[in-house]
Amino acid sequence: MNITELTVHELQEKLKNKELTSYEITKAYIDRINEKENEVGAFVTVTEDLALEQAKKIDEENNAEKAYAENNSEQAKKEEDNNLAGIPIGIKDNLCTKGIRTTCSSKMLENFIAPYNATVVENVLKEKMPVLGKLNMDEFAMGSSTENSSIKITHNPWNLSKVPGGSSGGSAAAVASNMVPWALGSDTGGSIRQPASLCGVVGLKPTYGLVSRYGLVAFASSLDQVGPITKDVRDSALLLNVIAGHDEKDTTSCNVPKVDYTKALKNDVKGLKIGVPREFFGDGIDKEVKEKLQEAIEIYKELGAIVEETSLNVAEYALATYYIIACAEASSNLGRFDGIRYGYRAKDYSNLKELFVNSRTEGFGDEVKRRIILGTYVLSSGYYDAYYKKAQKARTFVKKQFDDQFKKYDVLLTPVSPTTAFNIGEKKDNPLEMYLADICTVSINVASVPAISLPCGVDSRGMPIGMQLIGDRFKEETILNAAYTFEQKIKFRENYKPEFKKN
């Protein structure tokens, strides 16, 4: 048995049957990290000792509890079914972890150790999951290739000369290369779904407000969401169970009833109404991507879903709207990195202004600076109405377009990324081209709706192609079931595996 190739629900089963201990699982992943990290570069920090220590402790507790449970059957057994204790996890490096540094892959926070845990991290720790480490990303989650990390370059496990996507590139690459069983990512304009697509794994961006943002280092407050990156759809539902729910520390998190998302996985899409917006299949989308999605559409039809072409004319507004709102909020959110209380402080300065300017000039990378400048510009008096205010109106319009679609359809089906993974360095010096990598994903964040990305095949070079299923607000169950049913049919993981090709 190769432990690291198992999904979380498979590991869960083995833990339950005492075939494996948490220590064995965690150790297997640590060994895998030691074997593959040099090639892939997914981690900013590996917390080997901490993870093994946690795992040991959990095994001891489990033994004690099981002895007890044998005498007190029913209730204990029920709790055991969804027990995730002992399953390790990787965490994107923009989620605050007490005692473990949180760098956001930026020189600015290279040595920053948060004094508190993000709410989602608290949730994970409450479930007693050993933390394997913190995962690489584009600096402050700004980018689509993880090349904007000041820490290291992450390589795509399917082909090491290609990018893993971004910004949660470390999380997706770590899951794809079996260095973690699953991971937490964050998605502001596609940062979970696009790397999941490029790395052939499953990524879910929940409805805005379903998951607490407390402790997620903010990029764009009105768009950011934390979500799972997993090997398959069932794992996605399992991890969503852990992180979803109202948090009184985040007033933008919604008070919706807790549900068990795994219960939604019915392996049945008969009668499901799927809309395919033709605007998402335009000129910029790679031919092979279109072909694979067409195959997927046929599979859904076979499975009994009702698939129709529809028109969702948001792409042309959504990208501009997204970049205005995201940059505006980022320019304000990143003001706190001023060299005063924490983070990077320039060595040379002769007055307060120089302390601010030099620290930020030296501490931030180019893409972060570019977005701060854009955001500062669109909020400036005299430009506010023309850009920010107009973008807010466009956002309302985009939301309405989606609302209209969900009056007709349960799910919208689109590509995730216009192309499969591109070469490292290919788009690095062309920010506009890089921004187009988000063309299929940003409108989902602008509309605050949930979407899942799952693999639907590979291209002629063997690189994974992703499909995006979009749902109405708080209808995660619908898209999870649609994704699960498709996954059961094509069995992507059984047919394709990353091969760590060198070119």
For residues 116-141, one letter each, b for 16 or more C-beta atoms within 10 angstroms of the residue's C-beta and e for the rest, the string is: ebbbbbbbbbebbbbbbbbbbbbbbb
Asked if 336 is part of the footprint of another protein (rule: CB under 8 A), the reply reads yes
**Residue 184: DSSP 8-state:** E
Q: Which of 144, 145, 167, 359 is catalytic?
A: 167
Asked if 328 is part of the footprint of another protein (rule: CB under 8 A), the reply reads yes
Of 188 and 241, which CB lies nearer to another protein in the complex structure?
188
Region 382-411 residues binding another protein, contact defined as CB under 8 A: 384, 388
Asked if 255 is part of the footprint of another protein (rule: CB under 8 A), the reply reads no
For this structure, is 428 an active site residue?
no
**Least CB distance from residue 151 to another protein, whole Å?**
16
Residue 199: partners with Cβ closer than 8 Å, 6 or more residues away:
156, 157, 158, 164, 165, 169, 172, 173, 175, 176, 421, 464, 498
For this structure, is 167 an active site residue?
yes
CB under 8 A: which stretch of 2-10, 32-40, 77-85, 212-220 binds another protein? 212-220
Asked if 112 is part of the footprint of another protein (rule: CB under 8 A), the reply reads yes
Region 46-65 residues binding another protein, contact defined as CB under 8 A: none
For this structure, is 380 an active site residue?
no
Asked if 379 is part of the footprint of another protein (rule: CB under 8 A), the reply reads yes
Asked if 335 is part of the footprint of another protein (rule: CB under 8 A), the reply reads yes
Residue 329: partners with Cβ closer than 8 Å, 6 or more residues away:
218, 219, 220, 221, 222, 223, 375
Q: Which of 161, 221, 419, 423 binds another protein (CB under 8 A)?
A: 221
**Least CB distance from residue 185 to another protein, whole Å?**
15
Q: Which of 191, 253, 417, 448 is catalytic?
A: 191
Q: Which of 36, 92, 231, 427 is catalytic?
A: 92
Asked if 213 is part of the footprint of another protein (rule: CB under 8 A), the reply reads yes
Largest CA distance in the chain: 72
Q: Which of 147, 338, 410, 477 binds another protein (CB under 8 A)?
A: 338
Q: How many residues lie near another protein (CB under 8 A)?
A: 44
Asked if 278 is part of the footprint of another protein (rule: CB under 8 A), the reply reads no
**Cα(274)–Cα(268) distance, rounded to whole angstroms?**
13
Residue 64, both tokens: 């004690």
The verdict on whether omega for the bond into residue 253 sits within 30 degrees of 0, i.e. cis, is: no
**Cα(260)–Cα(269) distance, rounded to whole angstroms?**
19
The sign of the dihedral angle between the CA atoms of 335, 336, 340, 343 is negative
Asked if 216 is part of the footprint of another protein (rule: CB under 8 A), the reply reads yes
- Where are the alpha helices (H) located in 201-314, listed in sequence order? 233-243, 287-302
For residues 190-203, one letter each, b for 16 or more C-beta atoms within 10 angstroms of the residue's C-beta and e for the rest, the string is: bbbbbbbbbbbbbb
Asked if 218 is part of the footprint of another protein (rule: CB under 8 A), the reply reads yes
The label of the residue with tokens 């079914």 reads 81
Known catalytic residues?
A: 92, 167, 191
Contacts with another protein, residue ranges (CB under 8 A): 94-96, 102, 104, 109, 112, 114-116, 118, 213-218, 220-222, 248-252, 328-329, 331-332, 335-338, 340-342, 352, 356, 376, 379-381, 384, 388
